[in-house]
Amino acid sequence: MAFPAFSWHPGLSGNLRYSPNFVPSPQNLLYNSNARKEPSARTHLAKISMSAGAKDTMKTLRILIADDHDLMRRGVKTLLQAHAGWEICGEAHTGREAVAQAEELKPDIVILDISMPDLNGVEAARRIRKASPTTEVLILSVHYSDQLIREILEAGVRGYIVKSDSDRDLIIAVETLASHKPFFTPRATEIIMSNFSSGGSIRRELPESLRDRLTSREREIVQLLAEGKSSKEVASSLNISVKTAETHRANIMRKLQLHTVSELVRYAVRNQIIEA
């Protein structure tokens, strides 16, 4: 997998980030060879046109927030709305809602909680990046996980922060992603740099990961089953037949070498597919 080139810039908490390139503001100046003459109508119109063009370049940053915890979602929204030029264009409670809204709204940035009902943050991010390649994704997680970092990189995510640090890192992370540059916490950076220095492949390092062992559809079903849904409920949620859902379930248990739903739930919690 090809990774973006990183450079180190010391910022808050020593995070890996890119400094946005300085872009000078438009010079709305017109040269008049005869200072004694009043500006012509053409000159006046030109000034108005240039001023309007300058305003057009100040594009509003459109952000979609997805988190099943109302308090957390409102807190993130409050922080972001206080920033001039940023707009919350949508809110979602589940991963599936986030994907649907991202496809419809085409936001600049999507902020995803890693653990959401129906579809977790990693799977939602993978679908959003596929449907809208220009949309950047920022993952919020309660717990740190080496495997999670590798999973989100595989999904095309270029932003990751821990919820406990969100009041400190959130604004900087969004600013950095708005410039289409990656932002990761220091511990996440260590994993990325370790892969670069060793010349290793993330895919080779995770032979037992969900990505290698299960299909996208099977990962969805793992989450739904771990959330306590029956085969009939899984079929209804995914618009497939009960028989197809049961076949997927059997394949999942065989691939993961599991025998009971309890084992499947523990597997899902361990891989942060659902919350404990």
In this prediction, residue 97 has a pLDDT band, given cuts at 50, 70 and 90, of: very high
Q: Provide the number of structural domains found in the chain.
A: 2
For the ranges 23-32, 46-55, 213-222, which has the lowest average pLDDT?
23-32
Which residue type occupies 12? Answer: L
Domain match, 144 and 241 both: no
Same domain, 147 and 253: no
Can you give the residue range of the structural domain that contains 161?
58-203
- Contact present, 7 and 18 (Cβ < 8 Å): yes
Give the whole-angstrom CA distance, residue 151 versus residue 130.
15
CB-based contact 122:151 (threshold 8 Å): yes
Q: Is 264 within the bounds of a domain?
A: yes
Per-residue pLDDT at 259: 87
Work out the pLDDT band at 226, boundaries 50, 70, 90: confident
Confidence of residue 103 (pLDDT cuts 50, 70, 90): very high
Same domain, 107 and 173: yes
Q: How confident is the model at residue 55 (pLDDT cuts 50, 70, 90)?
A: very low
In a shared domain, residues 72 and 129: yes
The CATH number that applies at residue 227 is: 1.10.10.10
Take residue 28 and report the two structure tokens written for it.
């709305």
Q: What is the pLDDT of residues 152-194, one digit of tens each?
A: 888 899 999 988 877 789 999 999 999 999 998 877 777 777 7
Give the other-Cβ count within 10 Å of 120's Cβ: 27
Are residues 254 and 173 part of one domain? no
Query: Is residue 15 within 8 Å of 183, Cβ to Cβ?
Result: yes
**Same-domain status, 116 and 151:** yes
Statement to judge: residues 197 and 134 lie in one domain: yes
Of 144, 168, 203, the position where a domain reaches its end is: 203
Average pLDDT score, the chain: 77
String of DSSP letters for 235-256 = HHHHT--HHHHHHHHHHHHHHH
Task: Identify the residue with better confidence: 126 or 5.
Answer: 126
pLDDT class of 270 with cuts at 50, 70, 90: confident
Q: Which amino acid is at 114?
A: I
Q: Are residues 120 and 227 both part of a single domain?
A: no
Instruction: Tell me how far apart the 2 most distant CA atoms of the chain are, in Å.
Output: 91
Same domain, residue pair 62 and 193: yes
Same domain assignment for residues 187 and 125: yes
- CATH number of the domain that 151 lies in? 3.40.50.2300
**Which of 203, 231, 257 is the C-terminal boundary of a domain?**
203
What Cα–Cα distance (Å) separates residue 224 from each residue in 127, 163, 213, 221, 262? 17, 24, 17, 5, 13
> Is the domain of 183 the same as that of 253?
no
In this predicted model, which residue has the larger pLDDT, 138 or 10? 138
pLDDT the model gives residue 186? 79
Query: CA nearest 256: which of 224, 202, 215?
Result: 215
Decide: residue 65, CB within 10 A, 0-12 exposed, 13-18 middle, 19+ buried.
buried
Does one domain contain both 68 and 147? Answer: yes
Task: Report if residue 183 sits inside a domain.
Answer: yes
> Rounded to the nearest 10 degrees, what angle do helices 166-178 and 70-81 cross at?
60
| 38 DSSP 8-state letter | P
**Which of 182, 203, 224 delimits the end of a domain?**
203
